[in-house]
């Protein structure tokens, strides 16, 4: 009977412990565009991050066009950590229609994200740091 109870306990622990928390790395990143790509001709939109209701974010979001490829550059950003943080281009401040650029690579530093296709930035006018798992906004930047 003790063996049976032990086996059940092991199973319960296995099931409960198999949940990923997906926290964001905290190491400083320094991804930069080449200097000749960051001129005003290449810079299309930019905005400063402000805090969201569930986290804090500072720094700048800039959209560059380089060799017909849009890139989102997050510069000098600092974001409070959380689970499953993603970088969105969104039509709304609280994202309903959005383009997921991927997981936030780090909570601080300079980072680059490729933007697939040519979205209409007059519609997708917000860069967001968003916790996808809990649908919580950590920070936003209006791109102008």
Partner 1 sequence: MKKCFLVIAFVVVAVLGYGQQQPLPRLNKFVDFAATVGSSEGSVAGSFVYNWRIGKKRKWEAGLGIRATSYAGTKKDFTTAPGRLARSTTTPFVIVFAGQKTENWDTLTVQRPFVTAVNLSANFGYNFSQRWSAGFNIDLLGFSFGRKSSAVLTSNGITTTEPAAKVRAFNVLLTGDNDYGSLNSEFFLKYKLAGHWSVRAIYQFYFAEYNTTSIKQTAPDGTMVDRFRNKVNSVGAGISYQF
* Chain residues that interact with partner 1, rule: CB under 8 A: 1, 4, 7-8, 11-12, 14-16, 18-20, 22, 84, 95-100, 132-135
Q: How far is the CB of 43 from partner 1 (least distance, A)?
A: 26
CA 70 and chain centroid, separation: 16
**Of 48 and 116, which CB lies nearer to partner 1 in the complex structure?**
116
**Cα gap 98→92, rounded to integer Å:** 8
DSSP 31: -
| Number of Cβ within a 10 Å radius of residue 132 | 16
**Cα gap 73→9, rounded to integer Å:** 48
Six token digits for residue 34: 């080449």
**Of 47 and 119, which CB lies nearer to partner 1 in the complex structure?**
119
Q: How far is the CB of 136 from partner 1 (least distance, A)?
A: 9
Q: What three-state secondary structure class fits 123? A: coil
**Of 110 and 140, which CB lies nearer to partner 1 in the complex structure?**
140
Q: How far is the CB of 32 from partner 1 (least distance, A)?
A: 28
Q: How far is the CB of 96 from partner 1 (least distance, A)?
A: 5
**Of 7 and 26, which CB lies nearer to partner 1 in the complex structure?**
7
Six token digits for residue 93: 């401040």
């Amino acid at each position: 009977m003790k063996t049976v109870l032990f086996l059940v306990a092991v199973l319960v622990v296995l099931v409960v412990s198999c949940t990923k928390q997906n926290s964001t790395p905290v190491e400083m990143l320094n991804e930069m565009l080449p200097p000749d790509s960051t001129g005003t001709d290449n810079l299309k939109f930019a905005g400063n991050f402000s805090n969201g209701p569930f986290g804090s974010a500072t720094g700048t979001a800039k959209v560059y066009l380089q060799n017909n490829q849009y890139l989102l550059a997050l510069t000098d950003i600092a974001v409070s950590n959380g689970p499953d943080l993603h970088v969105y281009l969104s039509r709304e401040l609280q994202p309903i229609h959005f383009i997921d650029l991927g997981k936030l690579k780090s909570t601080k530093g300079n980072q680059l994200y490729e933007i697939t296709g040519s979205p209409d930035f007059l519609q997708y006018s917000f860069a967001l740091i968003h916790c996808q798992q809990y649908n919580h906004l950590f920070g936003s930047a209006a791109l102008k």
